[in-house]
């Protein structure tokens, strides 16, 4: 039995959900998001709650049960609060700044790295060593943050590079003489 799937998703005030077949569309103050579930689950909306039930006892139906409930919960969180990833830049001369819709990164390469923010994601650089990625789609926010981090991932000797704010970098000792 799925412990996650059993729990209904509560819809806070200001959020509405509509269902068309296997597609659930959630509207809130920050925007509209939708999710299409597989035929292995049944979705019902009643009393400001979205409930997900498996359509059988197969392994796939049980897998989709918890996953579908979590996806719907993420839609509700996205349209109410939104998702946010914070990145930190460490290293001498490494910095970031926003120019319109483009993030300019100076990461020690012979050229500046220009990253254009995709639609639906907001990138800000409150300081030269901090980057904030925000949006209503959790997957897209995470993907954008990962793409920015990939330009210069943190290295284990001096800790230089771009890392997530809450990330711990395992440090190594340098070679000895």
Q: How many domains does the chain have?
A: 2
Question: Which DSSP string corresponds to 85-126?
Answer: EEEEEESTT-EEEEETTEEEEE-SSSS-EEEEPPTTEEEE-S
pLDDT recorded at residue 1: 63
Tens of pLDDT, residue by residue over 87-130, are 999 999 999 999 999 999 999 999 999 999 999 999 999 999 99
Cα–Cα distance measured from residue 95 to residue 107, given in angstroms and rounded to the nearest whole number = 7
For position 140, which CATH number holds? Answer: 3.90.930.12
Tens of pLDDT, residue by residue over 143-169, are 999 999 999 999 999 989 999 999 999
Return the H-helix or E-strand segment holding 42: strand 41-46
- Among 80, 107, 137, the domain-final residue is 80
The residue assigned the tokens 């509209």 is 32
Answering whether pTM is above 0.95, one says no
**Residues spanned by the domain of 50:** 3-80
């Amino acid at each position: 039995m799925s412990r996650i799937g059993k729990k209904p998703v509560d819809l806070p005030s200001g959020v509405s959900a509509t269902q068309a077949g296997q597609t659930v569309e959630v509207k809130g103050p920050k925007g509209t998001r939708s999710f299409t579930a597989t035929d292995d689950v049944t979705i019902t909306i009643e009393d400001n709650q979205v409930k997900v039930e498996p359509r059988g006892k197969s392994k796939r139906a049980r897998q989709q049960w918890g996953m579908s409930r979590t996806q719907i919960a993420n839609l509700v969180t996205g349209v109410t609060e939104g998702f946010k990833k914070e990145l930190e830049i460490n290293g001498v001369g490494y910095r970031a700044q926003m120019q319109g819709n483009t993030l300019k990164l100076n990461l020690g390469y012979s050229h500046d790295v220009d990253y254009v923010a995709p639609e639906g994601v907001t990138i800000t650089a409150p300081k030269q060593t901090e980057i904030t990625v925000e949006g209503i789609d959790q997957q897209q926010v995470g993907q954008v943050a990962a793409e920015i981090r990939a330009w210069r991932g943190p290295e284990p000797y001096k800790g230089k590079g771009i890392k997530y704010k809450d990330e711990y970098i395992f440090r190594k000792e340098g070679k000895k003489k």
